[in-house]
Amino acid sequence: MKRVLIWVLSLWSVVGIGLSRSEAGLEELNAKERLLSFLEKDVSPGANSLLVPLTLIQGAASKGAVCLDGTPPGYHLDRGFGSGSNSWLIQLEGGGWCNTIRSCVFRKTTRRGSSRFMEKQINFTGILSNKAEENPDFYNWNRVKLRYCDGASFAGEGQNEANQLYFRGQRIWSAAMEELMAKGMQNAEQALLSGCSAGGLASILHCDEFKDLFTGTTKVKCLSDAGMFLDATNVAGGHTLRDMYGGVVTLQGVQNNLPSTCTSQMPPISCFFPQNLIANIKTPMFLLNTAYDAWQVQESLIPSSADPNGFWRDCKMDHAHCNSSQMQFLQDFRSQMLNAINDFSKSNQNGLFINSCFAHCQSERQDTWYENDSPRIGNKAIAVSVGDWFFDRMAVKDIDCPYPCDNTCHNLIFK
């Protein structure tokens, strides 16, 4: 059965009418925050889903490994058991980026920039679930969710003293890995680094670093969920995401932490785009992505700034309302996605699950990860495909036919 998720979206460009520039700017930031919160929301955590408490990394501050506001970073850990006692899954939280002083100062007032505002406990669902019937291959592993509070995919290094902003994503990554290694990850027999959205980009950026933490006997792989952010052209011919990434890389001092295999060939901004990184990753990597990623449609392809007259508004809110030329634009985006992963897909060690849905982040949501009606390609659910790939049960290079052929999607509709 095809399921749609409906969210009431207050477009800042509409709400902002009659507001001052300052008020409209704040409303835009609030609207972006609401969009991120909606995209991350699990629609079916279940009455008996596992609640896992937050652990702050107490020694992190002395190493300068702090959130945007200077508070210590944190994570949630549920210990493995049985055959999974010596296996580890690290899930890097997503949540966009901040690319200006203003957006980073705003971010300090949310859980995306300060551990003061992080939930004290969260549900572990999907790939983090501890139930075999919800998460067949990883349910009994040591499962960790590393919270995201730096705004640069765990890759920044610097600070802005005037505004008391700390850009310490790379240090947070290092401090967290050091703590988890001391808590038993150093003895891992197998390990999977995963992440969703900005965390999916982070899993690409840090994949080989993660592999280097372990000895040669540990089986190590990486998974990027909704992390294939493309350097795409928006409906007005601009490059929304390239402009945003330029701010992130420059403001947060990301350039020195990007892979030298890329920065030796092209500008640092280009090396924040996964399409310029994935072919050079040595560690086995799995790309889980929708071909019509909902966040990219909303924020990169059809941002309000590129559609001031609202020509694309109905299409943006519900793909069923796109006319033929608008749908062709989205099909061209899918083609760009497939072209970007072409070389990556040729490696036998890599895996793919690219379904033709209008969604975002499918590994942490129980309804999309593993349920009776979860999305499928060739009658195989995402959880099964990822497990087949990780445990080398079979090669997984699953690419869906173009929209509208897939009736298993859990598409997102914005009203």
Q: Of residues 360, 363, 367, 398, which has the active-site annotation?
A: 360
CB atoms within 10 A of CB 19: 13
Asked if residue 239 lies in contact with residue 143, where contact means CB atoms within 8 angstroms, the answer is no
DSSP string, 293-320: -HHHIIIIIS-GGG-TT-TTHHHHH-GG
Take residue 274 and report the two structure tokens written for it: 């996964």
Instruction: Compute the distance between CA of residue 385 and CA of residue 181 in angstroms, rounded to an integer.
Output: 28
360 catalytic, yes or no?
yes
Q: Tokens 């902003």 sit at which residue?
A: 165
- 323-329's contacts with Cβ under 8 Å and 24+ in sequence apart are 327/403, 329/235, 329/301
Helix or strand holding residue 356 (H, E):
none
DSSP string, 231-266: ----TTS--HHHHHHHHHHHHTT-GGGS-HHHHTTS
Tell me the residue type at 399: I
Q: Of residues 129, 194, 197, 385, which has the active-site annotation?
A: 197
In sequence order, the 6+-apart residues with CB closer than 8 A to the CB of 70 are: 61, 164, 166
Instruction: Compute the distance between CA of residue 342 and CA of residue 367 in angstroms, rounded to an integer.
Output: 29
Take residue 347 and report the two structure tokens written for it: 């490696």
User: Which residues are bridge partners to 195 per DSSP?
Assistant: 92
Take residue 221 and report the two structure tokens written for it: 């792989």
Peptide bond into 375 cis (omega under 30): no
293 catalytic, yes or no?
yes
* Active site residue ranges: 197, 293, 360
